[in-house]
A = this chain, B = another copy of it.
């Protein structure tokens, strides 16, 4: 590999018989040069194989044409949709897309932001673990958009899991369940908090008993512990923090000789790939997470191109996908 010398604005300028500034403008600010010279410059640039150096450009202008997405756990299928959506949107806007894993730690998020601050135009924070205060503080100096987290005054896109949780409870109530157990996820996850609040409220509204168990790590392996805890609790309906956990629970219940949905009903969140493959196929709350990822990048863009506009919050409706893991409450 021999990184050959690329031609610069100066080479193009000399060859085209204009000043470097004019070359620059021909590329970044077309209306600032006459159509004729622009054509000419572009032609010369083309034949010289000129390509603007994004670093140099960013250094001077402060605009990097890059966004970063910070996810707590790259390994968790829950985030794939968000990653996809964000990447696709960035790509169509001609933005470079940086992906970074924060290991479920707010502190890490903060460090990444500091590390990348000069290299990006903004950050999308997915399921951020940082406190409201820290986030607001950071938002003063950085361009942030949140996914699945709502903070007053900050732009964000989230799936309305509160409303979704009501749907879950209604579904379960209609099947005659009188009690549910929520197998909770990471305790500093905002989304998890929202889910539980809504579940509890909805349960109360339907005269159902609701208990929160856990927290459990949102992985299949935690399913056993979660299932066992739920059995002790005795609730007939188990609502798991996410599909991974729900699938783990399904497995454990089968091991312990219980039939789903006859003896217990199980519901998950996310509708990940695989949720309809397992047996019984999982009833789960499907959220437009890809859309959320896309929207978040969109919001970031908005703040760059039209600063001063008030931050928007996009809330997306989820829908319950009823499959085979829920059924009438046992008598």
Residue ranges of A at the interface with B (Cβ–Cβ < 8 Å): 1-4, 6, 51, 53-56, 58-59, 62, 64, 74-75, 77, 80, 83-84, 87-88, 91, 96-101, 114-119, 139-144, 247, 273-274, 277-279, 303, 307
Q: Which residue of B lies closest to A64 (CB)?
A: B55
Q: Which residues from chain B contact A273 at a C-beta distance below 8 Å?
A: 77, 273-274
Contact indicator B99/A97 (Cβ below 8 Å)? yes
Min CB distance A48 to B, Å, is: 14
Contact indicator B59/A56 (Cβ below 8 Å)? yes
Q: Which residues from chain B contact A144 at a C-beta distance below 8 Å?
A: 1
Contact indicator B119/A55 (Cβ below 8 Å)? yes
The 8 closest A-B pairs by CB, nearest first: A274-B274, A277-B278, A99-B99, A277-B277, A55-B59, A53-B118, A274-B277, A1-B143
Contact indicator B54/A118 (Cβ below 8 Å)? yes
Q: Which residues from chain B contact A1 at a C-beta distance below 8 Å?
A: 139-144, 303, 307
A-B contact pairs, 6 of them (CB 8 A): A2-B140, A3-B62, A4-B141, A74-B88, A75-B84, A77-B273
CA distance A97 to B277 in the complex (A): 32
Question: CB within 8 A of A80: which of B80, B91, B98?
Answer: B80
Q: Which residues from chain B contact A54 at a C-beta distance below 8 Å?
A: 115, 118-119
Question: CB within 8 A of A83: which of B64, B74, B97, B143?
Answer: B74
Question: CB within 8 A of A116: which of B2, B74, B96, B99?
Answer: B96
Q: Which residue of B lies closest to A88 (CB)?
A: B101
Q: Which residues from chain B contact A84 at a C-beta distance below 8 Å?
A: 74-75
Majority secondary structure of chain A interface residues (helix, strand, loop or mixed): mixed
Q: Which residue of B lies closest to A94 (CB)?
A: B115
Question: CB within 8 A of A96: which of B83, B88, B98, B114?
Answer: B98
Min CB distance A150 to B, Å, is: 18
Min CB distance A52 to B, Å, is: 9
Contact indicator A100/B101 (Cβ below 8 Å)? no
Contact indicator A99/B87 (Cβ below 8 Å)? yes
Q: Which residues from chain B contact A96 at a C-beta distance below 8 Å?
A: 98, 100, 115-116, 119
CA distance A75 to B85 in the complex (A): 10
Q: Which residues from chain B contact A143 at a C-beta distance below 8 Å?
A: 1
Min CB distance A281 to B, Å, is: 10
Assuming the contacts A55-B64, A64-B55, A303-B1, asked whether A101 and B116 have C-beta atoms less than 8 A apart, the reply is no
Contact indicator A141/B3 (Cβ below 8 Å)? yes
CA distance A220 to B121 in the complex (A): 37
Q: Which residues from chain B contact A80 at a C-beta distance below 8 Å?
A: 77, 80
Q: Which residue of B lies closest to A142 (CB)?
A: B1
CA distance A80 to B142 in the complex (A): 29
Min CB distance A73 to B, Å, is: 10
Q: Which residue of B lies closest to A96 (CB)?
A: B98
Assuming the contacts A87-B101, A277-B274, asked whether A59 and B59 have C-beta atoms less than 8 A apart, the reply is yes
CA distance A139 to B54 in the complex (A): 21
